[in-house]
Amino acid sequence: MGPGGRPLDTESVAPIRRVSLAPSARGSALVPVSCTPMDPRLPHRKVWIYPLLLSEHAFDKLRLIDCTFGEFERALAGALVIEEHALSSAQLKVRVLTVEWVRPLHVIVVVDAHRHEERIVTVYEPDPRRWSQDYRRRR
């Protein structure tokens, strides 16, 4: 079941696992804006406003890099948004950087205002040859 007891469209959504963040890490409003990586508003702290869903792919990636859910949850609490791109009027794709784990991580999140959820699509360790020294900007 999806938010509000509605059934999920299982043909267009990968298998998901629910993850919860501490209430203090949540915000109150979504303002989808199309931003480029050079936008002066970036980076900014990620405010989690909807329940988090973890895709099966992201779950597998966390296992591959040996990051536990507890470690991942703590790392997300201090994450920074480094890129934002509007996918539609109700969806925003966000690249998040966290350095609160053993190694820096990039997390791709789709913020879906229509479904009232934030889907973690993938997690990866950024390649230092493709990213600035602080992992915030592409080379």
Q: Give me the residue spans of the domains in the chain.
A: 43-132
Q: What is the pLDDT of residues 65-107, one digit of tens each?
A: 999 999 999 999 999 999 999 999 999 999 999 999 999 999 9
pLDDT value at 136 more than 70: yes
- Given this model, what pLDDT does residue 134 score? 94
50-75 in b/e form (b: 16+ CB < 10 A) is bbbbbbeebbebbeeeebeeeebeeb
Distance between CA 62 and CA 54 in Å, rounded?
Answer: 10
Assigned CATH class of 43-132: alpha beta
Whole-number Å distance between alpha carbons of 89 and 135: 28
Do residues 123 and 104 make contact, with C-beta atoms less than 8 angstroms apart? no
Whether residue 62 is predicted with pLDDT greater than 50 in this model: the reply is: yes
Confidence of residue 109 (pLDDT cuts 50, 70, 90): very high
Tell me the pairing of strands 80-86 and 52-55: unpaired
| Mean pLDDT of the chain, nearest integer | 80
